[in-house]
A and B are shown apart, each in its own frame.
Chain A
Amino acid sequence: MSDQYSNEPLMEMFLFETSQLLEQLEQNILSSEKESGFSEDSINEIFRIMHTIKGSSAMMLFDNIAKLAHSIEDLFFFIRKEKPEQIDLTVLSDLVLEGVDFIKTEVEKIKGSSPADGNAENLVVTIKNLLTELKRMNAAPAAAFTPIPSGDYAYKALIHFEEGCEMENIRAYTIIHNLKELSKEIYYIPEDIIDSDESINVIRKNGFQIYLKTDRDYRKMHEFFMQTIFLKDMELLQLEDTEFAQYNKPEITPEENLTKLSIGKEVSQVEKPVRTDQLEKEPTTTNTTQSIISVGVVKLDKLMDLVGEMVIAEAMVIQNPDLKGLQLSNFTKAANQLNKITSEIQDIVMSIRMVPLSATFIKMHRIVRDMCKKLDKDVHLEIIGEETEVDKNIIEHISDPLMHLVRNSVDHGIENTQERLEKGKSKSGTITLEAKNAGSDVLIIVRDDGKGLNKEKILKKARENNLLFKNEEDMTDKEIYNLILLPGFSTKEKVTEFSGRGVGMDVVTKNIEAVGGTLSVDSVAEKGTVITLKIPLTLAIIDGMNIKVGKSRYTIPTISIKESFRPKETEIIYDPDGNEMIMVRGECYAIRRLHELYKLKTNITKFSEGIIIMVEQDEKTVCVFADELLGQQQVVVKALPHYIQSFKRIRGLAGCTLLGDGSISLILDVARMFNR
């Protein structure tokens, strides 16, 4: 059945649902751990989830996943049924989490279209051993199941069912099934009771023959067979071992391929149904019409792209050079209407792509848990504002950095219990993960109450690695702390399992910057460290101010523009190095000439002819000098083509966009333009 199920939506559904279930499972385990016990509900849930995963993955022919899921399912089936008391919670949750990790890895492999070839054999064995152990320990002496009999007596039974009772094969199967509790050696004719409808006729004609060995005596066995429903007649013979041996054919395990059966007209025993009170409350939970559908991300990305193209096309029409100088009042009206609709579509499409941070945040619980265990620390993770929404693409980019930050906090920030107590702090450390909206940005704050950053160590390290860009004495605390974000900085001498694997904070910084975000560090010795990520809500479309320098066009995000003005030459002041500055309302700002920075030819070099745009980003303000303002427009941010990026990294460019007349404009990232 290899290719009948290999169709893509089904695969996508499998991956989607499995991932979701795994998340759910993980949360279940973690919260159970917190409550130091599995509630009946959570055991049921774990069982169900594993059952579902087993079914789906077997269907998709991922046998390794199915096998593992099956073993965990078995384990929880036992726990659900027997409610064993002697059970080591940590061992149990560790095992399940290990299983979750394995399946997750496999699912990732499948997503990346590589073969899911992981081997969980060891884990399966461990789980099975645990189950055996549990069964052994929790075997209630009174209700102890008779151990499988060694097989003292051999019997032959010939069974005829009542005519017209239908489903002879499944009835035969029922007998075999029940017999398994009494005997481990069973052979029967016809053998193919499950696989073949033909067997029904054979049973009807010749009866159903069973050969078995058991320690039960004749009377007991007779009693057993007589209990069969719709039994017409039955012959039971005791056999000698030698006689039995000739029927010694390979045993058939009907459970393995229970696939077909014939259908019964009558139902033998319709159990008198008991109306549960569940039914009475039915209106509350029933008939929920589907109000949510899942859509592939690819489609959403495509939609986003198209909306972007539409915005550009709209600008191309409305700002078409052919229209210059014409008075078209009707056209303008229609154009405004179009503009209104496109921006509404944009908002909607954006909002579709917004995903709450909760999933990303909740993952951190697991990381904190695992690390606390390994490092023997006591850390409590607090999550605030997880409902804050961010563009899906951005979430993918910040998940890893965030994980790294949390790891750092647990590993380097929070002290171990003893140290904390000596310092007079609370026994368990707290890491707070907070998200909130701030204008067009989202702030994500990772705060710990650990030992804080060590200024001297940072400075020493920075000196060694030549990372100091100004006088040590002149540096504010914040500037010193932010040194750790620079490439090639890592103060931890010892590399631990979790953090400081050579990839330091600079990787985190790079990842955050890749989505147009920034990162800042603040710390108070012995009080803790705060790391703030500032990430844009969305990447795709921004309001931009188009400016011109020589023949080139640039776009500055409108949100960072504070004002623009044309100063007099006399207002310009110079610092001792000859850099141009301007005083505005008592504050002094550096002026940067774009034509100098990008070496552009322009006739406008006098401040009185051009324009100065004051731009603020990340609490830094600079004045940018350009030739003229071209106007404001929504622009679709496109990444710089790969070959340009790899050819030379140009400082201060966030991307590019198309203008209404079809020309290309480069989007300036002012903050980075002037950073060293």
Chain B
Amino acid sequence: MKRVLIVDDAAFMRMAIKNILVKHDFEVIDEAENGLVGLNKYKDLKPDLVTMDITMPEMTGLQSLKEIIAYDSNAKVVMVSAMGQEPMVMEAIQSGAKSFIVKPFKEDHVIKTLNNILNLS
């Protein structure tokens, strides 16, 4: 089972993502409510995959992503973005995010995206 860390400031979103992941045999090993906590949990837990919200207090998803990539250049981070955040998604992609999903997301899109990333060696 692939271990996933969910980083999002909205408990609702975390729950929504978690519901989908659990249904598809991912293991959600932890959740974080902002980029900073996410970064530290990444270091602690070394998840196989991170879903990262972009707009968060304390530390944004972009910043957190950059720090995570700096710490582990092989980190697999998927941005969770909303419509209108394309520039940030672009920046995220350029900064090392492997992919992104767009809110409101569909179950199969999430799963496809994540599987796609995990299938890369």
A261 and B99 in contact, given A1-B107, A273-B70 (Cβ under 8 angstroms) = yes
Whether A30 is near chain B, meaning CB under 8 Å from some CB there, is: no
What is the bound-complex CA distance between A263 and B96, given in angstroms?
Answer: 11
A55 and B86 in contact, given A259-B102, A271-B95, A285-B36 (Cβ under 8 angstroms) = no
Say yes or no: B93 contacts A170, CB within 8 Å. yes
Scan residues 44-64 of chain A and give those whose CB is less than 8 A from a CB of chain B: 44-45, 47-48, 51-52, 54-56, 58-59, 61
**Number of chain A interface residues as a range:** 35 or more
Partner of A56, one of B10, B95, B96, B101: B10
Scan residues 395-445 of chain A and give those whose CB is less than 8 A from a CB of chain B: none
What is the bound-complex CA distance between A13 and B11, given in angstroms?
Answer: 7
What is the bound-complex CA distance between A14 and B109, given in angstroms?
Answer: 22
Q: Which residues of A contact B112 (CB under 8 A)?
A: 260
Closest-CB distance, B106 to chain A (whole angstroms): 5
- What residue in chain A is nearest B37 (Cβ atoms)? A286
Whether B21 is near chain A, meaning CB under 8 Å from some CB there, is: no
Partner of B59, one of A17, A174, A256, A278: A278
Closest-CB distance, B117 to chain A (whole angstroms): 5
Say yes or no: A177 contacts B86, CB within 8 Å. yes
Q: Which residues of B contact A73 (CB under 8 A)?
A: 84
- What residue in chain A is nearest B19 (Cβ atoms)? A10
What is the bound-complex CA distance between A85 and B101, given in angstroms?
Answer: 36
What is the bound-complex CA distance between A14 and B15, given in angstroms?
Answer: 10
What is the bound-complex CA distance between A286 and B45, given in angstroms?
Answer: 14
Say yes or no: B95 contacts A58, CB within 8 Å. no
Closest-CB distance, B31 to chain A (whole angstroms): 9
Q: Mark B94-115, 1 if CB is under 8 A from A, else 0.
A: 1110111111111101001100
A286 and B36 in contact, given A4-B107, A10-B19 (Cβ under 8 angstroms) = yes
Partner of A55, one of B13, B40, B63, B73: B13
- What residue in chain B is nearest A51 (Cβ atoms)? B55
A267 and B96 in contact, given A4-B107, A177-B86, A258-B86 (Cβ under 8 angstroms) = yes
Q: Mark B17-57, 1 if CB is under 8 A from A, else 0.
A: 00100000000000000001101110010000000000111
Q: Which residues of A contact B67 (CB under 8 A)?
A: 273, 275, 279
Whether A7 is near chain B, meaning CB under 8 Å from some CB there, is: yes
Q: Which residues of A contact B87 (CB under 8 A)?
A: 177
Q: Mark A169-201, 1 if CB is under 8 A from B, else 0.
A: 010001001000000000000000000000000
Whether A291 is near chain B, meaning CB under 8 Å from some CB there, is: no
Closest-CB distance, A48 to chain B (whole angstroms): 6
Closest-CB distance, A563 to chain B (whole angstroms): 54
What is the bound-complex CA distance between A258 and B86, given in angstroms?
Answer: 9
Scan residues 207-264 of chain A and give those whose CB is less than 8 A from a CB of chain B: 255-256, 258-264
Q: Which residues of B contact A14 (CB under 8 A)?
A: 12
What is the bound-complex CA distance between A261 and B19, given in angstroms?
Answer: 22
Closest-CB distance, B79 to chain A (whole angstroms): 11
A13 and B12 in contact, given A55-B82, A270-B95, A270-B96 (Cβ under 8 angstroms) = yes
What is the bound-complex CA distance between A273 and B105, given in angstroms?
Answer: 29
Closest-CB distance, B9 to chain A (whole angstroms): 7
Q: Which residues of A contact B98 (CB under 8 A)?
A: 263-264
Say yes or no: A285 contacts B58, CB within 8 Å. yes
Q: Mark A1-41, 1 if CB is under 8 A from B, else 0.
A: 10011010110011001100000000000000000000000
Whether A646 is near chain B, meaning CB under 8 Å from some CB there, is: no
Whether B66 is near chain A, meaning CB under 8 Å from some CB there, is: yes
What is the bound-complex CA distance between A640 and B99, given in angstroms?
Answer: 61
What is the bound-complex CA distance between A663 and B33, given in angstroms?
Answer: 53
User: Which residues of chain A have a CB within 8 Å of any CB of chain B?
Assistant: 1, 4-5, 7, 9-10, 13-14, 17-18, 44-45, 47-48, 51-52, 54-56, 58-59, 61, 70, 73-74, 167, 170, 174, 177, 255-256, 258-265, 267-271, 273-276, 278-279, 282, 285-288
A–B Cβ pairs within 8 angstroms, 27 of them: A4-B107, A14-B12, A52-B9, A52-B12, A55-B10, A55-B82, A58-B103, A59-B12, A59-B105, A177-B87, A255-B84, A255-B86, A258-B89, A259-B101, A260-B112, A261-B99, A264-B93, A264-B98, A265-B120, A267-B95, A270-B69, A271-B66, A273-B69, A273-B70, A274-B66, A278-B36, A285-B58
Known interface pairs A48-B56, A52-B9, A273-B70; 6 further A-B residue pairs with C-beta atoms within 8 A, sorted by A's residue number: A52-B13, A259-B102, A261-B99, A271-B95, A282-B40, A285-B36
